[in-house]
Amino acid sequence: MVAWKRQLILFGGFHESTRDYIYYNDLYAFNLDAFTWSRLSPSGTGPTPRSGCQMTVTAQGSIVIYGGYSKQRVRKDVDRGTQHSDMFLLKAEEGREGRWAWTRVNPSGAKPTPRSGFSVAVAPNHQTLLFGGVCDDEEDESLEGHFLSDLHFYDPVRNRWFAGQLKGPKVEKRRRRRGRRGEPGDSSKQELKGTRAQEPLQVARELVAEDGTVATVQQGLAARGPAGQPESDDSDDGPSEAAVPAVEPSARSSAMLAVKHGRLYLYGGMFEAGDRQVTLSDLYCLDLHKMEEWTVLVEMDPESQEWLEETDSEEDSDEVKGAEGGGESEEDEDSGEEAREQRPSAAPGEPFADSLPRTEQ
C-alpha cells in the first residue's frame, strides 16, 4: 500500500485457511477525506495475483509495483512457489478522475536477481531503492534460502536499474621517504603489506540457542593498518583513492528501511540457519549522497537472539526437587501440563510460521 495524493492505494495480497489459499491482484483506493473504500478497475494488463510485492510512488505520480510471491498446487499436498521479478506502472489517466491504467515495463541495466522478502525505500533523487531479500531453492520436501545483502536503485525516468556500489571512505595516500626506498628488505615488507591489504577480515558472531543450535553471522571488514585505517599502497603522488567499505549489513530478508535527510537507515530483518529463524536487531546508516560506507549505529546483540524455551535439563531438575519433597503436588503437575499444552509451539509473533510462505510470515 502507498499514499498517493489524498488516497491510499492497495494492491494484491493473499488469504490462507486450513484447507486452501488464494492470491489476489485486485486494486483498491481509500479516500482520506471521505474515509471510504472503492475498487479500481484499471485498463491494460496488470500483474498476476501475488503478495509480498513492493510499491513506491515516482516523482511523476506513477506507482511502481515490483516483484512479489505466489504459490500454486502442483499435486496433492505439494505446492510450488514463484518469486516474481516483473515490474508494472500504475498511472492515473489525465482528465478522467478515478480512471487508471496498467503498463508493464522492462527496465534495462543491472537488474536484481529474482528474490522475495526484499525491502524498498525512496532515495532523495526519487529513485526506488531495493535492499537484500532471499532466493529460495525449493524441492518437493525441502526449502533452502540464500539470503542477500546487495543494494539496487531503479531510475523511473531512465527506466533503468543500477547496482548500489559503495565507494569507500576517501583516504590520502602516504608519501614514501626517498631515503628509505633502497633500504634492504623494503621490497619484501611492501610485498607482505600489499598481501595483507588484499585479505578482507571476517568477523563472525555466533548465536547459540539453548538446544545447542549455533547460527553464525559473518561481516566483512577491510584490512586495517596499525593506526586503524585501511592499508593503501604508498606513492609519490597524493591523489585520494577509494578504500574498501569497512562494514556492511549481513545478508537478510524483511529488513526495515527509512530515508531521512539523504540517509538510509536499515534495521533488523531475519535469516535462517538450518530449521531455525534468527531475528536481527542491528541498526545501520548509509549516506546516499556520498555512498561511501555503512555506519553501525546499534550492533547486533547475540544474547538477545537466544530462544527462551523449556529444556529437558530444567524438567529433570524439577523432578529432582519433587523427589526431595520440594516439588509440585499432583494437582500442580496436572495444571502445569495443561498450561504447556496450551502454549503455542511457534515463536512469539509467529503462530503460523510453518504454514505460511516466507514473505508472508
Q: What is the pLDDT of residues 138-193, one digit of tens each?
A: 765 667 789 999 999 999 999 999 999 998 877 654 555 555 555 555 544 444 44
Least Cα distance to 65 among 165, 147, 151, 154 occurs for 154
Residue 187 maps to a domain: no
Identify which has the larger pLDDT, 152 or 243. Answer: 152
Residue 96 domain-assigned (yes or no)? yes
Q: Do both 8 and 152 map to the same domain?
A: no
Same domain for 272 and 134? yes
135 exposed, middle or buried (CB, 10 Å; 0-12, 13-18, 19+)? middle
Residue 80 is predicted with a pLDDT of 85
Does some domain include residue 196?
Answer: no
Please tell me whether residues 130 and 72 are part of one structural domain: no
Same domain, residue pair 31 and 82: yes
68 assigned to some structural domain: yes
Q: Among residues 60, 85, 58, 82, which one has the least CA distance to residue 72?
A: 82
3-state secondary structure of 259: strand
Is residue 5 included in any domain, yes or no?
yes
Residues 269, 153 share a domain: yes
Per-residue pLDDT at 56: 93
Tell me: pLDDT of 123 over 60: yes
Determine the average pLDDT of the residues in 241-265: 84
Range of the domain at 37: 1-106
| pLDDT computed for residue 286 by the predictor | 97
Q: Verify that 163 and 55 share a domain, yes or no.
A: no
Give the pLDDT mean for 62-72: 93
* In a domain? residue 192: no
Containing 197, the helix (H) or strand (E) segment is helix 186-197
Q: Are residues 28 and 155 in the same domain?
A: no
User: At which of 304, 326, 352 does a domain end?
Assistant: 304
Flag whether 4 is in a domain: yes
Q: Please tell me the predicted confidence (pLDDT) of residue 79.
A: 84
Q: Which of 133, 125, 114 is nearest to 257 (CA)?
A: 133
Domain boundary residue among 304, 323, 353?
A: 304
Q: Are residues 102 and 116 in the same domain?
A: no
In a domain, 263, yes or no: yes
Pairing between strand 263-273 and 276-287?
A: antiparallel
Q: How many domains does the chain have?
A: 2
Please check whether residues 117 and 16 belong to one and the same domain. Answer: no
Distances (CA, A) of 142 to 81, 253, 274, 299: 12, 19, 11, 33
Residue pair 235/173 in contact (Cβ under 8 Å)? The answer is: yes
The DSSP call for residue 361 is -
Choosing from 58, 79, 106, the residue where a domain stops is 106
CATH of the domain at 279: 2.120.10.80
> Does the pLDDT value for residue 16 go beyond 70?
yes
Stated pTM of the model: 0.66
In terms of domains, do 120 and 44 share one?
no
The reported pLDDT for the residue numbered 211 is: 56
CA distance 21 to 15: 6
Q: Are both 3 and 136 inside the same structural domain? A: no
Residues 159, 291, single domain; the answer is yes
